[in-house]
Structure 1
Amino acid sequence: MEKLLLCLAAVPFGIGFLVSADAAQPEDGDVVLTFADEQIVESSGLVVRQGLVVTVNDSGDRNRIFTVDPTTGGTVGMTEWQGEADDIEALAPADEGHVYVGDIGDNANRRERIQIARVPFGPGDSEVEAQTFDLVYPDGSHDAETLLTHPRSGQVFVVAKAFIGRLYAAPEQLDEGRVNRLTAVDEVLGIATDGAFFPDGRHLVLRNYTQAAVYTWPALDRVALIDLPSQPQGEGIAVSEEGEVLISSEGQGTDVLRVALPEEVRAQVASGAPPASSAAPSEESSTAATPAPTDAGESAPVERDWWPWALGAVAGLVIVVMLLRSLRPR
């Protein structure tokens, strides 16, 4: 009971973080395609490369990805690979013609290690022996649904799905023959369900069910928080080679939408200063004090209104009172 009440105490904080009042409103998303394949029922990861859309079903499916023609919404290829899936949740671009598939979900927070696979995509059905890489967190197990790769270095990143998210960096060179140890980088968007780098390698975007956050790289200064178009259960996000942002949702026959970033966000992404390095920031730099913002386009500190926290506090109090009343002797 004490553990349950402790978990409920986090409710107001979760609502306060997730229901933020500083989001910039985007335009409604344009429909790019509608998934026509009845086997695509839980699009959880999304990649757009070489004029094709790649997606993967959420947990419960086997080791397979779908390559979709964006002009028709029809599946033109399916790739399967060896082994049994534990909890596939994410996709990220790999080298040309390949994606990384993230078997990184862990709702019970009990997996000793997670795994990603390098899998080819494209027209035609195939079964392959995929390269697989085991990863381990430095601070215990985490549930995760977000996998990213830097467009220049190819380095892989994972974002833990929690009220306060945390980004972890894999070694710059993955080793198939050993367990690859992740390194904690910094706190990011809470309850993240997917993410992607922009082509310049200087910015990335993370999403949760209702919002997306754009960050600089490698400083991880947040440029903007954007309300996303309504979706049944929006989880996937991708950035094309041209910098277009697309989002997908779970559900059969769902739409892939194009998100028009607000003008000030597009300007920030276009004019951001290049980073000193495309590699992940060091542990020392990620914990250093953030310099004060200037008028030269740096992002200002996030300011949150009081009402999301009040709403969360009321919701948490109501839940606790109802639970205690249900346990009274009758």
Structure 2
Amino acid sequence: MNRLPWYTFFALCCSFSSCLTEADPQQDNYWSTHVPFRVSYNTFSMPVTEKWIPLPENLGAVPLSEASGLAYSYQNPGKIWTHQDSGNTNILFLLDSETAEIVAKYRIEGTVNIDWEDIEVSFGPEENITYLYISDTGDNNLRRNQYTVYRIKEPVFEEAHRGQTITLSNLELDQIDFDYPDGSHDAEGLMVDPETLDIFLTTKRSTFSKLYVLPYPQENGVRNEAVFAGEFGFRDSSAATTNLQGDKVLIKNRQEIFFWERQMGETMVEMLARTPLRAPYIGEPQGEAICLDPNNNYFTLSEELNSSTPPNLYKYLLSN
């Protein structure tokens, strides 16, 4: 497994330590005493941040009918991970971030795609290694009593993989099974706090989108219980992401993208309890995927329109 180049990791760590809290929430049994936040705001009158250029670049069509997550690859610079949701197989697609073409496909042995809804690249149990987190957490009919987040070390593309479907077997695969404290939920957004390694999930079918957390260390192969962390002032969350420094968060629904920037000393949940700004979004037929790259540009991808029009990969450029 390739490690991040020392200069990349050093820069990330410097940025990471300068903008995030020095406190370790787990030391004080943080989640056992956490009081969930509940916020209210008018999303229609919410200002739009000027941090990004309003109109995105159209990078090209992606020949996938049900794309449901995006994650920028740190082991494979210039490439993006994506996948499809229920009714599809346990395959990850690696996209070229400049042309939107599918470079290679990877079948993840030992996993099942009941309803994969989001994907994130972040840190994990082994220091200085990037991991893929895949959330099998979709539940349109609210019938499931157990959900799963898979975690693997990020695969490395080789030129021999180009155009191929590669089966990745004998992986160090963490299967983080869990349920909720209050019944079934359809969670379509996933992000990981790179400081604490807590896994956050955002729900879609609640009256307002809810935030749940799987505190680190998550138990592998046993049933964990998610903690209710808070309730947002918007509905229908369909994707979520944070950058590898953990200081910027984007959560989207079908109409809008919401943006938070972490302040000195804030935990992830304290940041998300604040009123966000909106980020630029031109709208998509059924947008269910978003990710940030190392320069804090962000990408979006939709499901196919009317089973006939392939979705486009869009890139929103940082304005400064």
- Using structure 2 for the length normalisation, give the TM-score: 0.69
Are 2:239 and 1:194 aligned? Answer: yes
In structure 1, the residue matched to 2:110 is 82
CA distance in 2, matches of 1:79, 1:147: 20
Q: Secondary structure of the equivalent of 2:220?
A: coil
In structure 1, the residue matched to 2:225 is 181
Aligned letter for 1:62? T
CA distance in 1, matches of 2:55, 2:215: 38
Among 203, 206, 212, the residue aligned to 2:251: 206
In structure 1, the residue matched to 2:20 is none
Equivalences for 1:12-51 in 2 at 5 Å? 20-24=44-48, 27-35=54-62, 38=63, 40-50=64-74, 51=77
Question: Cα 1:77–1:55, aligned 2, differ >3 Å: closer, same or farther?
Answer: same
Residue 227 (structure 1) shift: 5.1
Residue 61 (structure 1) shift: 0.5
CA distance in 2, matches of 1:226, 1:158: 20
Question: Cα 1:259–1:183, aligned 2, differ >3 Å: closer, same or farther?
Answer: same
Among 136, 146, 170, the residue aligned to 1:113: 146
User: Does structure 1 retain, via aligned residues, the 8 Å contact 2:151–2:175?
Assistant: yes
- Number of aligned pairs? 245
Residue 103 (structure 1) shift: 0.7
Q: Secondary structure of the equivalent of 1:222?
A: coil
Residue 210 (structure 1) shift: 1.2
In structure 2, the residue matched to 1:158 is 201
CA distance in 2, matches of 1:163, 1:224: 21
* Greater share of helix: 1
Identity %: 22
CA distance in 2, matches of 1:196, 1:156: 11
Question: Cα 1:17–1:193, aligned 2, differ >3 Å: closer, same or farther?
Answer: farther
Aligned letter for 2:168? E
CA distance in 2, matches of 1:180, 1:136: 7
CA distance in 2, matches of 1:234, 1:244: 17
Are 2:168 and 1:127 aligned? Answer: yes
Gaps of 5+ in 1: 1-15, 267-330
In structure 2, the residue matched to 1:63 is 90
Equivalences for 1:272-287 in 2 at 5 Å? none
Larger displacement relative to structure 2 (243-252 or 140-149):
243-252
In structure 2, the residue matched to 1:289 is none
User: Does structure 1 retain, via aligned residues, the 8 Å contact 2:85–2:113?
Assistant: no
Residue 104 (structure 1) shift: 0.3
Residue 146 (structure 1) shift: 0.6
User: Does structure 1 retain, via aligned residues, the 8 Å contact 2:174–2:221?
Assistant: no
Greater radius of gyration (CA): 1
Q: Deviations over 1:146-201 (max 9, x none)?
A: 11111233221111113301111102111113111111111123200001113432
CA distance in 1, matches of 2:280, 2:111: 38
CA distance in 2, matches of 1:45, 1:112: 23
In structure 2, the residue matched to 1:320 is none
Work out which structure has the larger RCO, using CA pairs closer than 8 Å and 6 or more positions apart in sequence: 2
CA distance in 1, matches of 2:60, 2:198: 30
Larger displacement relative to structure 2 (124-133 or 202-211):
124-133
Q: Secondary structure of the equivalent of 1:157?
A: strand
In structure 1, the residue matched to 2:290 is 237
CA distance in 1, matches of 2:91, 2:239: 18
CA distance in 2, matches of 1:64, 1:109: 24
User: Does structure 2 retain, via aligned residues, the 8 Å contact 1:248–1:254?
Assistant: yes
User: Does structure 2 retain, via aligned residues, the 8 Å contact 1:23–1:224?
Assistant: yes
CA root-mean-square deviation: 2.4
User: Does structure 2 retain, via aligned residues, the 8 Å contact 1:44–1:58?
Assistant: yes
CA distance in 1, matches of 2:94, 2:143: 32
Q: Deviations over 1:208-255 (max 9, x none)?
A: 011011134331212302451121211101011221111111126322
User: Does structure 2 retain, via aligned residues, the 8 Å contact 1:213–1:226?
Assistant: yes
Residue 259 (structure 1) shift: 2.4
CA distance in 2, matches of 1:17, 1:87: 31
Aligned letter for 1:187? E
Aligned letter for 1:156? I
